[in-house]
Amino acid sequence: MSEAYFPVGPGLGPEENFLSLDDILMSQEKLPGRAESALPRLAFALGQGAGADSGDSIPEGSKLEIPLWLAKGLHDSKRRIISMELPKIYKEAWRTVFSADANVVDLHKMGPYYYGFGSQLLNFDNPENPEIAQTILQNAYNEDTSALVARLDELERALFRAGQKGLNDFQCWEKGQASQITASSLVQNYGKRKFTDMDG
Amino acid sequence: MAGERAAGLVRELHRAAGGHLPPFRAEGLRQALEEMRALYERNQADVSEAKSGRTDLIFLIRFRHCCLLRNQRCVVAYLYDRLLRIRALRWEYGSILPNAIQFHMSAEEVEWFNRYKKSLATYMRSVGGEEGLDLTQDIKPPKSLYIEVRCLKDYGEFEIDDGTTVLLKKNSQHFLPRWKCEQLIRQGVLEHVLL
């Protein structure tokens, strides 16, 4: 990893960092909801019912799937427009599955931003919020990092990487390499890239 | 779906790991800004209609506003993250960037880099007494004044302070003052050999 590049990290809990690339991609994830009143179809060119005439409206009560950023923007505590539901994996049944061993569940497949997304859900008034918060907290602190990093979601991967880097740095120091000036990894990556460009 | 292009920019940047700077997507940026302009114009028109009684438009206006904010966020984050990467380049590469990298930067970014360089230089001169302090040196705590280095690539002639030149050929080893070599080591030309 480049030593001088410090990107804006993801926000903590229900807050997002405006400039964080991680948070932006996380809020692209879709979640299910319902229209609380008739909504003009033009707005939702989401591929819901191709072939609808323009000027038609989505009837009240129909199901929608919209990205988190839109859900947050349209959500009104008086709930006039849309109401958001908990996606399946945050519901009761799945929560008990997750409290099992980390190896059991392929979290990345469920949604690469399970923890961040879950924290965002706390923004919508939902009676199950306290339970969700509990589950997220439990699992996030469980540092039982499985050998297959591919099954962890982004937060866990970041934790894993941080732990790994710490370990590597310590070993480096032990070997007396801390004072050895090294080629910048950034520069090395540029070198490699150029090589492949020339090939193909 | 609105905001897709802008999110695409962010996604590509996020994928470039390790602070690597991908080429500047001027076209993608232009399209995102174009989308914003169109949304804004439609909203302007609708707002005056809504004020004169058409309350059914309010949802649409709100929706477009959300999209505008989303696009703005993606675009700003994209540009900002690129600047963070460019700033890292000054610290890792030095003040002169290879052409391959400059090629990936927009004109404004090159301008920003030059101004940052100047800012940094002014600051370094003001710190640490008369000659100033080079902060980009000694990133790792130094153990000695001179270090043993091995040359990894053919670089050519290299002059050190007392006037003597050294020929840097691949695999040659030299005992050189630390401060002269640090840049070259970071660029991968020399390799610091621990005795």
Q: What is the mean pLDDT of chain A?
A: 64
* Neighbouring C-beta atoms of residue A60, cutoff 10 Å: 11
Q: Are B13 and B82 in contact (CB under 8 A)?
A: yes
Check whether A120 has a pLDDT greater than 70.
no
Query: Which tokens go with A51?
Result: 């072939």
CB distance A186–B76 less than 8 Å?
A: no
* Interface probe with A: pick from B35, B61, B63, most Cβ of A within 10 Å: B63
pLDDT tier for residue A142 given thresholds of 50, 70 and 90? very low
* pLDDT on residue B194: 73
The average pLDDT across B28-38 equals: 93
A window 115-154, beta carbon within 8 A of B: none
Give pLDDT, residue A147.
35
Q: Tokens 């080429």: give the residue.
A: B23
Is it the case that residue A193 has pLDDT exceeding 60?
no
CB of B101 within 8 Å of a chain A CB? The answer is yes
CA distance B174 to chain A (A): 15
With contact defined as beta carbons under 8 Å apart, do A52 and A41 qualify? yes
Q: How confident is the model at residue A144 (pLDDT cuts 50, 70, 90)?
A: very low
Predicted pLDDT of residue B80: 95
Nearest-Cα residue of chain B relative to residue A35: B59
Spatial contact of B21 and B29, defined as CB atoms under 8 Å apart: no
**Alpha helix ranges (H) inside chain B:** 4-15, 26-51, 58-93, 99-102, 107-126, 178-186
Backbone angles phi, psi at A63, to 5 degrees: -85, 140
How far apart (Å, rounded) are the C-alpha atoms in residues B66 and A114? 24
What pLDDT does B87 receive? 92
Torsion of CA B118, B124, B129, B130, to 10 degrees: -40
State residue A119's pLDDT score: 61
Q: Do A70 and B66 make contact, defined as CB atoms within 8 angstroms?
A: yes
Q: Which value, in Å, is the radius of gyration of the alpha carbons in chain B?
A: 25
Is A178–B141 a contact, with Cβ atoms under 8 angstroms apart? yes
CB A56 within 8 A of CB A81: no
Q: Please name the residue that has the structure tokens 């005056």.
A: B48
Residue B87 touches partner A, C-beta closer than 8 Å: yes
Distance, CA of B68 to chain centre: 26
- Determine, for residues B77 and A181 on separate chains, whether the beta-carbon distance falls below 8 Å: no
Quote the pLDDT of residue A125. 47
pLDDT of residue A38: 74
Neighbours of A33 (CB within 10 A): 22
B63 interfacial to chain A (CB closer than 8 Å):
yes
Q: Which residue has the higher pLDDT, A73 or A49?
A: A73
User: Between B10, B64, B70, which is nearest A25 by CB?
Assistant: B10
Q: What is the pLDDT of residues B96-147, one digit of tens each?
A: 888 888 899 999 999 999 999 999 988 888 887 766 777 777 777 777 778 8
Q: How far apart are CA A53 and CA A26, in angstroms?
A: 32
How far apart are the C-alpha atoms of B121 and B133, rounded to whole Å?
Answer: 9
B16/A contact by beta carbon, under 8 A: no
The chain-wide mean pLDDT, for chain B, equals 85
* Structure token pair of residue A160: 């894993």
pLDDT digits (tens, 9 = 90+) for A35-68: 877 777 666 654 343 444 445 677 777 888 888 8
